[in-house]
Amino acid sequence: MPDRGAPDPIIAEARKRWMKCSEAEDPQRKRIIAAKKFRALDQWPAAIKLQREGAGSIAGQSPQPPRPCLVVDRLSQPVRQVSNTVKNADFGFDVMPVGQGADVETAEIFKGYLRRVQNQARGESPIEWAADGAIEGGIGWFRLRTDFVHQTWDGVPDEAVFDQELVMERIANNLTVYCDPSAVRPTRSDAQFMFVIEDMDRDEFERKYPDADLRGLEEFSSTGDMQGWVSDDVIRLAEYHRVIYQDRPFTWLTDGTILEGPAPKGADVRMSRVMRVPSVKIDLINAVQSLQKFEWAGSHIPLIPVMGEELNVDGKPVLRGIIELGMDAQRMVNYTYSGAIEIYALAGKKAPMIPGASIQNYKAIWDTRNIINYSYLPYDPWDDQGRALPQPTLDTTDAPIQASVALMQVSEEAIKASTSTGDASLGNTNPNERSGRALAELKSQSDLANSNYPDNVRRAYIYAAALMLEVIPKITRVGQILHILGMDDEPKQVMVGRPFKAGPNGVPEAAPEDVTPEVAKMKESLWNFYDLNNGTYNCTVTMGKATATRQQEGAAALGDLLPHLPPEMQAKIIPDYIKQLSFPGAQAIAEKLAPPTDGQPSPEQAAAMVAQLQEENAQLKQAAEGNTIKAQTTLQKAEQDNTAKVAVEQARIESSERIARENNETKLAVAELGALAKQLQDTLAMFAAERSRIGVQGHEVGMTAMGQEHERAMAEAGHARAMEQGDVQAAQSAEAAEAERAHQAEMQSEAQRAAAEQSAQRPAKP
């Protein structure tokens, strides 16, 4: 505890900054409190409400009865409409690698971590609560903090005892946050200090902080200028967040060397700079001392605002929500409804103009005529002196209820105009707009008018994600197992900073020491490795509809599509369609309609399928007949149109084929001529051998055969020449004649050869 004679410099700084925040935010805080009270149905100004409460009789005045102060709340519905739009939206993180060393796989790990933090916070809904505060009064707050993963010792490894994780928390009262008034960014990321206050019961404070300087608090309560910090029953505590900077000089020499620190004497410097490295310190303080000290791992204060509508008036920020915009219109509604009721129900009945003496004897009847339906009202026509009294005259004018109703309608429209909420968004339908598409367009226009609120929530998500991406590597040790959420919120466990593989039940198992990160990063490796400290990552946030909303819209769209599908597709889709419906028994009905798991349809389904196939076959047959007739007609027309073209083309083709055939035949004839010449040579050789064997008689026969062969060869040569000259007809005739001569010559040669053989075998005469 610091010496009381020397004030703590942190406390002195905190007091000064506190007064600065308090003075700057006082007008804004008054508007927020007024909006909160107005939303809580405290909607009548205090002076008017006091006036309408009535008063007792005083000298010279009759008593004033109380008058109606109705609150017909038309402002909460537009506020809930916008607030529920944020609550039903699905904000999704998308992490992207942007720095050297970053990769897509590690980006998915960061994304899964952020989704898990978001999922764990759904119980408190910190961002949705902050958004509701922004819609209500212009600003709401939520925070980030670190917490230990394991809250019990049982079964926790020694190295995991100090494992930490990020959590998101809501700030229930947005007025407990005081921000640096010099901060101007929409996320207030440029704030140098902030306070989060908490009023604690004095007895609880003494129990929780027994070493606190209570004597100093007593002295401050009598002389301090920070109102509300100390009282007989309550002691105010504050988390004092402040950003401090450490200067780190860097020098770039002309030879390319970069030094951390000032340049050496005489060095040739190309460039130098001083980097201001921020860090966040947190002190839990009361009015006189610091009770605890913390340090945030990031470089920005982990308090995130969700803004409403932000204006800048003469250099000062002005924040407002829907409540402030609709206050006057809501008061108009309350005044008109209260006035109409007062005129119609609570005002006196039509008072007659009567002389008092005429009802003196019937006063009880006339005084109760407004609550008892008398069949007649008696009166005295003469006074006690016998003078005639005038007959009572009743007021026959009507109360101005029609004007009050018209004013009510005007006030109702004023609510819609001031909150930018149309009938379609409020569930009111216009008889002139019966189309569902038209109503959807009107609702879309109304949603667009208030789309700045969901967009501000998205911006707060992006800033919170940036803070978490900076802190996650700093609070995560090497080998720590992180619980993340994959696609469709599927839980998954990964180890960071060390190669691993998924073991039984998905629990990561660390790799042996010989498995290096480089080996684990290879494509064929069975190991995974994620280094959260390597590279830089950015985050974007997408805003879509909630899962339930998407399911309802999908079911509605599918229901509109089903009547337009073929029956066979309807049979396949209807079970899935029924599964998406939420009525009791939908799942059981879908299972009954679904085909059997063995792939065999039921008898009813089979009969329906047969009937359907028969109908389809008939339709296809009819369509095929129509297509055949159409094709025949088209073919006839094409044939008529192309007859000449076809004839010319056919003649050209036949001429080309004839020429090619004749050329081939000529080539074949030439080849045959060569073969005949060789055959002639062989024949001459054979005859020479035969002559030597059979003598002179055989010589004559051989000469005859040789002559015949010569004539045949000459004929073949003439045929070839005819073919070469292109006279196809003459060549064919010559070929036929030559074939006949060759046949006859061959038969004659055979006969002569046979005669020669017989002559050689006959014995010679003596």
Phi, psi dihedral angles at 493 (to 5 degrees) = -120, 135
- Angstrom distance (rounded) from CA 136 to CA 173: 12
> What is the pLDDT, as a whole number, of residue 197?
94
Stated as kind and residue range, the H or E segment containing 165 is strand 164-170
Whether residue 577 contacts residue 555, with contact meaning beta carbons closer than 8 Å, is answered with yes
- Find out whether 673 and 723 touch, Cβ atoms under 8 Å: no
Residue type, 594: A
Q: How far from the centroid of its chain's Cα atoms is residue 455's Cα?
A: 14
Determine the residue type at 613. L
Nearest to 510 by CA among 491, 496, 531: 496
pLDDT value at position 752? 62
Alpha helices in 310-370 (DSSP H): 322-341, 363-367
pLDDT at 221: 67
The neighbour count for residue 642, using CB atoms within 10 Å, is 11
- pLDDT given for residue 462 in this prediction: 95
Q: Which two tokens stand for residue 401?
A: 């209820």
DSSP structure class, residue 381: S
pLDDT at site 402? 77
Mean pLDDT per block of 10 residues along the chain (766 residues) reads: 63 93 93 95 92 73 77 91 88 89 92 94 92 95 93 75 93 95 94 95 92 78 70 90 94 89 87 93 93 94 95 91 93 90 66 77 78 79 83 71 82 85 59 54 62 92 96 94 84 92 87 86 84 92 67 72 78 75 69 61 57 67 68 62 55 60 59 57 54 46 49 55 50 56 63 57 44
Joined tokens for residue 119: 């999922």
Q: In this structure, which amino acid lies at residue 63?
A: P
What is the Cα–Cα distance from 429 to 349, expressed in whole angstroms? 38
Strand partners, 311: 318
Six-digit token string for 287: 């009015």
Distances (CA, A) of 60 to 56, 57, 63, 210, 285: 12, 8, 10, 64, 60
| Nearest one of 268, 238, 236 to 251, comparing CA atoms | 268
Spatial distance between the Cα atoms of 195 and 175, rounded to a whole number of angstroms: 10
Query: Contact 364/343 with Cβ under 8 angstroms?
Result: no
Burial (CB count <10 Å: 0-12, 13-18, 19+), residue 655: exposed
Answer whether 237's CB lies under 8 Å from 200's CB: yes
Bridge partners of 90? 544
Supply the pLDDT for residue 763: 46
CA distance 291 to 285: 5
Count other C-beta atoms under 10 Å from residue 21's C-beta. Answer: 17
pLDDT at 176: 95
CB count in 10 Å sphere of residue 119: 12
Residues with Cβ < 8 Å from 199, sequence gap 6 or more?
A: 234, 235, 236, 237
